[in-house]
A and B are shown apart, each in its own frame.
Chain A
Amino acid sequence: MSKNVENIIELSNELRWKLGGDFHDSITESIYADASEIVGETVNTDSRKGRNALDVKIDKIVTSKTWGFPIMFLILSVVLWLTIIGANYPSALLAELLLDTIHPALKTGAESIHMPWWLSGFLIDGVYLSLAWVISVMLPPMAIFFPLFTLLEDFGYLPRVAFNLDYLFKKTGAHGKQALTMSMGFGCNAAGVVATRIIDSPRERLIAIITNNFSLCNGRWPTQILIASIFVGAVVPKSLSGVASVAAVIGIAVLGMAFMFFSSWALSKTVLKGQVSTFNLELPPYRPPRFWKTLYTSLIDRTLIVLWRAIVFAAPAGAVIWLISNITIGDHSIAYWMIDSLDGFGWLLGLNGVILVAYIVAIPANEIVIPTVLMLTVLVTGMAAGNGAGVMFELDSANATGDILKAGGWTLLTAINLMLFSLLHNPCSTTIYTIYKETKSAKWTAVATLMPLLMGFVVTFLVAQIWRLF
């Protein structure tokens, strides 16, 4: 049986050779000829009207050379501003409920049933608190950011962004559709990496995968926002502090895009050399989004799924933090030894040992960086603000958080470098795993993981050295 198959294949090889190289084009032409014949017989277009006049007018403005970019940044700013301002109130309410009310109640409950201190510490101060923190900090901004983003998407704005950025991507040797996967990355890098499947050239797809991490993801927005409000907002007059904070966060996001373009360019000039492939980008008609439906689906599909992922990773991370803070070797806890050994390197980068340990603990989920930092800072400074060793907590006001950080030796430099390092470090473990699944290559997964981390070291090091000169 299989021998006959070889006959068929041999015959096809023979015939292919006879037909010559333009077979593919001939077939494509035949299909198009058939299509236009059929359409000629069955479709009646009013040739005087054509594309929707309003669509054309909107496109002329939002994809124009002059207005395209300002409009893009304006929309990004409005979305961020609504997210930052709007998330404050529900965050505070959730924190009050989960951290100030339920947490003490759980502790009291545990005491009344005589639960051993280590078990209640592990479960309530470790696992429960990390979950509570992630929910109260992440849920509100996500519940605002994702629906806004989805509304823009349904309206049809994303392909216009791709259209505006296409020229820059082409210049860097990357694929124009990378603009779409980059935008997805602003929500979640793992989702952005999966979205690169729309890029058909393997070379350009790899570039898009490796550089997706430079899109500031949802887990990192809260870190940026909190640190910017505490430190950047504080150096300007009070009336301007909100604007300054938003500007600083947007600055970091734009810097991330700059790094993405730069590393796409560097990759396509070195290890991933090749031609830029052309593609057709459809600018779909603008469609008024169906508001309530969009709200519902974006809450279910995106917000809850991302939140669930964060919860799954935060629970064990909370347990680990509690353990390393409470298991002692010699005179001090494991956390203390880790912080101590990384302090010197941290100082070189304008950071400190606490931040580096927090980033190691937070590899599974970027969302828990800040609570880990706070908890560890309290631990090493011996302050009494927290609830004891290894307890993650959120302070009621940004001011109180700032006081702790300042007591831990933080300066404006530490804050700025933390924001930079939050942008430039390894992707979270889910994204790393997704990269491996998509590329099926340990080598490229390693490149995608270590390249941004190295960049983070270099950038924060340089900033720290220059800062200290003045």
Chain B
Amino acid sequence: MDKEKKIVSSACEVCPQYNPNGLKKLGVSAENTDFVVALAGNPNTGKSTVFNALTGLRQHTGNWPGKTVTRAEGAFQYNDQKYKLVDLPGTYSLLSTSEDEEVARNFILFGKPDVTVIVADAGRLERNLNLVLQILEITNKAVLCLNLMDEAKRNHVEVNTRALAKRLGIPVVPTSARFNKGIPELIDVIRQVANGEIVCQPHRIKNVPKTIDEAVKKLSEEIKKQFPGVPNSRWIAFRLLEGDERVMEALRTQEF
């Protein structure tokens, strides 16, 4: 009994759904996949490390913001389903126009990933939430990977992950990707979101001034009328009010 306790390091490992042997790292062979998973997040939160842990690839990782400036792709298989994983450039926001932010935003918006995994630094959550909240305006299917838990712990930062998940309306998985901790749990949550077993109800930005809120509502109603399928009419409205040419063009060419 005692021995068993030592081996099991988290409750998830005794759950019947947990199946670490179902994972096959497929490297770069990303053809005929069932799902597309995007990996977004602030720079230097360990996105590339999570990417490597999932795909078995050895993309170079570095300890400085801006290491990944292009999109990297890989794949993994879990329980007979194949997932293509796209590592997006790390960005602090999706509101400006630098090339790396455009790449990240356009993929989440137009690439329509089945799941967007947002990697955040557990020790610097407040700063990271800026991007998280923006992504949650764009997509309904997201998972927060709360990475660098080991570092946060060392710096005496404690995150109540259950409360956070409730507040954000998406699953939150604590990880230390450098040491492969939490990765099996992350994979299983990705599977559940991709297959619709977990339905997210993402947080939408509150605290918006009343005048703006009214304008956004009006515009977003109009967008919903023309594009009944879009999950992010409110975000499109935000962008239109900001005069985003790329989003206008996307409306004209029916990219949504």
**A42 touching B219, Cβ below 8 Å:** no
By beta carbon, the residue of chain A nearest B97 is A200
Contact of B69 among A32, A46, A198 (CB under 8 A): A198
Contact of B60 among A36, A49, A156, A298 (CB under 8 A): A298
Size category, B interface: 35 or more
Contact of A49 among B156, B160, B209, B241 (CB under 8 A): B156
What per-residue 1/0 map shows which CB atoms of B61-81 lie under 8 Å from chain A? Answer: 111111001100000000000
By beta carbon, the residue of chain A nearest B158 is A44
**B211 touching A19, Cβ below 8 Å:** yes
By beta carbon, the residue of chain A nearest B137 is A31
CB B125 to nearest CB in A, in angstroms, measures 6
A5–B167 Cα distance when bound, in Å, is 35
Contact of B21 with A by CB under 8 A: no
Given A26-B208, A197-B69, the answer on whether A180 and B156 have CB atoms closer than 8 Å is no
Contact of B12 with A by CB under 8 A: no
Residues 225-256 of B contacting A (Cβ, < 8 Å): 226, 237-238, 240-243, 248, 251-252, 254
* B167 CB contacts on chain A under 8 angstroms: 38, 41-42
Contact of B13 with A by CB under 8 A: no
CB B107 to nearest CB in A, in angstroms, measures 15
Contact of A19 among B64, B163, B215 (CB under 8 A): B215
**B241 touching A180, Cβ below 8 Å:** no
Instruction: Give the number of residues in A that approach B within 8 Å (Cβ atoms).
Output: 69
* A11 CB contacts on chain B under 8 angstroms: 218-219, 222
Contact of A290 with B by CB under 8 A: yes
Contact of A425 with B by CB under 8 A: no
CB A273 to nearest CB in B, in angstroms, measures 20
**B64 touching A284, Cβ below 8 Å:** yes
CB B255 to nearest CB in A, in angstroms, measures 11
CB B245 to nearest CB in A, in angstroms, measures 10
**B62 touching A285, Cβ below 8 Å:** no
Residues 48-92 of B contacting A (Cβ, < 8 Å): 58-66, 69-70, 89, 92
**B66 touching A300, Cβ below 8 Å:** no
**A38 touching B205, Cβ below 8 Å:** no
Given A38-B168, A194-B69, the answer on whether A155 and B63 have CB atoms closer than 8 Å is yes
A33–B130 Cα distance when bound, in Å, is 10
**A154 touching B62, Cβ below 8 Å:** yes
* B44 CB contacts on chain A under 8 angstroms: 282, 284
A284–B125 Cα distance when bound, in Å, is 14
Residues 288-335 of A contacting B (Cβ, < 8 Å): 290, 296-298, 300-302
Contact of A43 with B by CB under 8 A: yes
* A23 CB contacts on chain B under 8 angstroms: 212, 241-242
**B203 touching A45, Cβ below 8 Å:** no
Given A23-B241, A197-B98, the answer on whether A301 and B64 have CB atoms closer than 8 Å is no
By beta carbon, the residue of chain A nearest B58 is A297
What per-residue 1/0 map shows which CB atoms of B23-62 lie under 8 Å from chain A? Answer: 0000000000000000000011000000000000011111
**A8 touching B133, Cβ below 8 Å:** no
Contact of B64 among A1, A26, A158 (CB under 8 A): A158
Contact of B240 among A8, A29, A158 (CB under 8 A): A8
Contact of A35 among B95, B126, B237 (CB under 8 A): B126
A50–B155 Cα distance when bound, in Å, is 7
* A45 CB contacts on chain B under 8 angstroms: 156-158
A12–B184 Cα distance when bound, in Å, is 45
Contact of A18 with B by CB under 8 A: yes
CB A395 to nearest CB in B, in angstroms, measures 36
Residues 177-231 of B contacting A (Cβ, < 8 Å): 178, 203, 205-209, 211-212, 215, 218-219, 222-223, 226
Contact of A153 with B by CB under 8 A: yes
A41–B254 Cα distance when bound, in Å, is 40
By beta carbon, the residue of chain A nearest B208 is A30
A199–B89 Cα distance when bound, in Å, is 13
**B96 touching A200, Cβ below 8 Å:** yes
**A156 touching B58, Cβ below 8 Å:** no
CB A46 to nearest CB in B, in angstroms, measures 4
A153–B254 Cα distance when bound, in Å, is 43
Given A26-B209, A49-B156, A298-B60, the answer on whether A41 and B163 have CB atoms closer than 8 Å is yes
Given A38-B168, A155-B63, A159-B64, the answer on whether A12 and B237 have CB atoms closer than 8 Å is yes
Show 24 residue pairs from A and B whose CB-CB distance is below 8 angstroms, ordered by the A residue: A8-B226, A12-B241, A15-B218, A15-B219, A15-B241, A19-B215, A24-B95, A31-B130, A33-B207, A34-B129, A34-B206, A38-B203, A41-B163, A42-B159, A42-B164, A44-B158, A50-B155, A158-B63, A159-B64, A180-B64, A194-B69, A195-B66, A281-B65, A282-B44
Enumerate the 4 nearest inter-chain pairs by beta-carbon distance, A residue then B residue, closest first: A200-B98, A46-B156, A198-B66, A12-B240
Chain A positions near chain B (C-beta within 8 angstroms): 1-2, 4-5, 7-9, 11-12, 15-16, 18-19, 23-24, 26-39, 41-46, 49-52, 150, 153-156, 158-159, 162, 177, 180, 194-195, 197-200, 280-282, 284-287, 290, 296-298, 300-302
